[in-house]
Amino acid sequence: MVALWRHRNNIVFSEEHKDLNTCKKMVYDQVALTAGLSKSYVHDSYLDNVVARAWNVKTRLRKEPRLKECKWLLPDEDMVKANSDGAAKGNPGQAGAGTVFRDHTVVVLLVISKGLGITTNFMAECEAVMICVEIALERGWHQLWVESDSRAAVLAFVSGKIP
């Protein structure tokens, strides 16, 4: 855009008249410079590749995500399973916690979420576990299986060193 703007201003305000090929070269040079400095990735779509080839721009492909198989195990018949999670945007940062409660038939009994204000990821994970235990006790779900993706939070509860 800068090259087009400069070319237009040269035509309107100056005695110097550059030809269209000069403008095209300025645009091409700026695209090449910007592409060279960019840390962005392309999604390897047909259109991305066509445009990149037309401008002779080297692209960086996003790394393939590593897939990890996981299984959700059913709780026993007399048990409620709680899958809890906590997260902070920043560490510390705005945080929240949530839990999904299910019975042995995979029926969702309750889904909760709560804003936690400013805290760390670890504290958000621990708070998520505490919230789900409190709700289970309030509802009379005394056979509770709590599952969390935070190894640190689980170890804190198992060792009795709850923050």
Task: Give the sign of the dihedral formed by CA 105, CA 107, CA 112, CA 113.
Answer: positive
pLDDT attached to residue 36: 82
Are 150 and 110 in contact by the 8 Å Cβ rule? The answer is no
Residues in CB range of 141: below 8 A, 6 or more apart: 80, 101, 109
Helix residue ranges, H only, 38-139 = 46-54, 121-138
Among residues 116, 131, 130, 123, the alpha carbon closest in space to that of 152 is found at 123
Q: What predicted TM-score, i.e. pTM, was given to this entire model?
A: 0.59
| Residue 17 reports pLDDT greater than 80 | no
CB neighbours of residue 145 within 10 Å: 16
| Residue 2 reports pLDDT greater than 80 | no
Tell me the pLDDT tens digit for each residue of 51-86. 888 888 888 777 778 888 888 899 999 999 999 999
pLDDT attached to residue 83: 96
Are 111 and 118 in contact by the 8 Å Cβ rule? The answer is no
Residue 85, burial from CB neighbour count under 10 angstroms (0-12, 13-18, 19+)? buried
Tell me the pLDDT tens digit for each residue of 24-48. 888 888 888 888 888 888 777 888 8
pLDDT attached to residue 147: 94
Tell me the pLDDT tens digit for each residue of 103-158. 999 999 999 999 999 999 999 999 999 999 999 999 999 999 999 999 999 899 88
| Residue 15 reports pLDDT greater than 80 | no
